[in-house]
Amino acid sequence: MKNLWAPWRMSYIEGLTRKNEEKSCLFCRVISVSPDYDEENLVVYRGEKTFVMLNKYPYNNGHLMVVPNRHVPSIEDLNDDELLELAKTINLMIRALKIAYNPDAFNIGANIGRDAGAGIEEHFHVHVVPRWRGDTNFMPVIADTKVIPQLLHDSYKSIKNVLSTLL
């Protein structure tokens, strides 16, 4: 048997055991701190009613989460102003990802509730995932391993640079 070393995954594993101990919401903690810590927290954009951060455990490079500032479990709990800004922010992120990465397509969606696959079910958010033809290869099937071709820090810089030209 061969070993595939992935030491960056340990923080995820340790985070799973701490998740039960932590009572506060990840998104609420991130949005409550100063924008001076946005890079550390992977926040690429702050709006009036929403913010956007990179997924720390992405499906693909550039995998973003668009999050309402207000702590609600479902899209139906958002008011009209929050829904409008959420939609506009998703549009902005699609434009930014197109410029930064030139993807062939996008997956955009939300998992509402644990049984739908929500990892953070108490705070609604929308995933925006750039996709490329052939971005899924044999690794997930054969080795149960997803290859992400870009470091999170590099993804952060790429998206922030594009957003600075769009805003």
Note the pLDDT of residue 138: 57
pLDDT digits (tens, 9 = 90+) for 130-153: 999 877 765 555 566 677 778 899
Pair 112, 120: CB distance under 8 Å: no
Strand partners, 68: 50
- Pick the catalytic residue from 63, 123, 125, 127: 125
State the fold for domain 24-161: HIT family, subunit A (3.30.428)
- Which pLDDT belongs to residue 23? 65
> Tell me, what's the pLDDT at 155?
95
Mean pLDDT, the chain cut into blocks of 10 residues (167 residues total): 66 61 82 96 98 93 97 97 98 98 96 86 95 73 68 94 96
pLDDT of residue 111: 92
Known catalytic membership, residue 125? yes
Q: In this structure, is the dihedral angle defined by the CA atoms of residues 74, 80, 81 and 85, taken in order, positive or negative?
A: positive
Query: What's the confidence (pLDDT) of residue 151?
Result: 87
Task: Identify the CA nearest to 128 among candidates 58, 77, 31, 25.
Answer: 58
Extents of the domains making up the chain: 24-161
For 23, other C-beta atoms within 10 Å of its C-beta total: 5
Task: Look at residue 142 in the predicted model and tell me its pLDDT.
Answer: 57
This prediction has a pTM of 0.82
Which pLDDT score is estimated for 134?
A: 77
CA distance 70 to 52: 13
What string of DSSP letters covers the chain? ------GGGHHHHHHHHHHTT--S-HHHHHHHS-GGGHHHHTEEEE-SSEEEEE-SS-SSTT-EEEEESS--SSGGGS-HHHHHHHHHHHHHHHHHHHHHH--SEEEEE---SGGGT-SSTTS--EEEEEE-TT-S-HIIIIIS-----S-HHHHHHHHHHHHHHH-
Q: Tokens 């100063």 sit at which residue? A: 34
